[in-house]
Amino acid sequence: QVQLVESGGGLVQAGDSLRLSCAASLRTFSSWPMGWFRQQAPGKEREFVAAINWSTTTGYADSVKGRFTISRDNAKNTVYLQMNSLKPEDTAVYFCAAGRQGSVYSTRRYDYDYWGQGTQVTVSS
């Protein structure tokens, strides 16, 4: 059974940094595109934040470009989201997701088959 476990969320002040981690129980982890999404309130759509594919090509939402960095450590089956210069509008539950094995990354949540339980990030002003 595939499991994605996020960690690293918390309460920080505007301008601070956080690093989220997602440990994945995926065989041949390096061949899976991985993404981060966030949901800012219950009932709101889960929105794309960042993604990385097997070749380490990355993509970002415009709202986080230049502040967030996604990376992966295939030896540890882990994907990271380094978040710098955090803003109150970054407050959300952040979800890690695994896409279709062997494919390039997608910005659409429907292209991701496996999801973590989410980790809360709260940024105070």
Contact at 8 Å (CB) between 80 and 25?
no
Cα radius of gyration (the chain)? 13
Both tokens of residue 104? 């390039």
pLDDT band at 86 (very low <50, low <70, confident <90, very high): very high
Both tokens of residue 69? 């960095």
Is the predicted pLDDT of residue 55 greater than 80, yes or no?
no
Both tokens of residue 6? 């996020």
β-bridge partners, 5? 23
- pLDDT tens, position by position, 89-119: 999 999 999 998 888 899 999 999 999 999 9
Cα 67 to Cα 43: distance, rounded to the nearest angstrom: 26
Q: CA neighbours within 13 Å on the CB side: how many for 38?
A: 22
Q: How much is the pLDDT for 103?
A: 87
β-bridge partners, 19? 82
